[in-house]
Amino acid sequence: MSQQEPSGAPERHGMPVLGLGTWENDDAEQCAESVRTALETGYRHIDTAQIYRNEAAVGDGIAAADVDREEIFLATKVWIDELGGDDVVDSAEASLERLGVDSVDLLYVHWPADAYDPEETLPAFETLYDDGRVDRIGVSNFEPRHIETARETIDAPIFANQVEVHPLLQQEELREYCDDVDVELVAYSPLARGEVFEAPELQEIAERHGVSEAQVSLAWLREKGITAIPKATGADHIEDNWASLGLELDETDVAEIDAIDREARQVHPDFAPREW
């Protein structure tokens, strides 16, 4: 057994490496309660997006929790039809109002699609950054070529790239690139929308340690220096994911997961980068 009681999530450059994802958590009461539960469990990283239609509920959960706002790393994302010039600033201000905060710790470009134009979109993000309404600029679903263009377009640093990554979609080339250019990698759908529970390699490791496959997946991501934001609504899943911080995988565990040769991508909309 290599399971210990987690005392808190470690951080990378001020961002806790385990957060709560809120995608599809669109029942306002349930969403607010899951955010409150997560924060009072120990989470300090909450992730949402304009397109999730739950920013107000996330804000309600933050307000209800017995945790100071200054302790919370809060991230949201600007949707693809709001990425043109002035739209970015207006939509970001609307997000802040819905969340009930003066600023967010991280604001992402949700996809390099639709109204996204590096020359218009990114300077608007930089304006929000310079004005203190956004502490960090992020991108999501960007390939290396998109990140390279973004880094060349503005002076403010690109802090993070949020993408789908998990043991069944390991994104080795993208991981290496982001590491080389000092861009944090944040994993959405880190449990492959439940598919990790059916992976025999993960089942075996989970059995050895007496933990869930979810905990194994999250511990592997942490081992790789990747921040994970698993979606969870019920207290049991919120607590199980949190317990992954107490799991230390050994070299054999990591090697077995590294050897999984599958690409079970779960998210692939029509507007995704062509390389997908």
Q: Catalytic residue at 52? A: yes
Q: What residue ranges define each of the domains in the chain, with the CATH number in brackets?
A: 11-258 (3.20.20.100)
Of 153, 236, 143, 230, nearest in space to 191 by CA = 230
Amino acid symbol at 195: E
Could you say which DSSP state residue 134 is in? B
For residue 2, the model assigns a pLDDT of 56
For residue 1, the model assigns a pLDDT of 46
How far is residue 14's CA from residue 161's CA, in Å, rounded to a whole number?
A: 15
For residue 6, the model assigns a pLDDT of 73
Chain segment 87-99, per-residue pLDDT in tens = 999 999 999 999 9
Measure CA of the first residue to CA of the last residue in the chain; give whole Å.
39
CA distances from 187 to 74, 162, 166, 218 (A): 15, 6, 7, 10
pTM attached to this predicted model: 0.96
For residue 67, the model assigns a pLDDT of 97
For residue 7, the model assigns a pLDDT of 67
Amino acid symbol at 157: P
Buried b (16+ CB within 10 A) or exposed e, 112-130: bbebbebebbbebbbbbbe
Task: Exactly one of 43, 52, 108, 129 is catalytic; name it.
Answer: 52
CA distances from 243 to 70, 156, 239, 248 (A): 24, 35, 6, 11
Residue 190 tokens read as: 């880190």
For residues 43 and 74, the answer to whether their CB atoms sit within 8 Å is no
Chain segment 153-181, per-residue pLDDT in tens = 999 999 999 999 999 999 999 999 999 99
For residue 275, the model assigns a pLDDT of 75
Instruction: Extract the residue ranges of the chain whose pLDDT is less than 50.
Output: 1
Task: Map residue 84 onto helix, strand or coil.
Answer: coil
For residues 170 and 258, the answer to whether their CB atoms sit within 8 Å is yes
For residue 3, the model assigns a pLDDT of 67
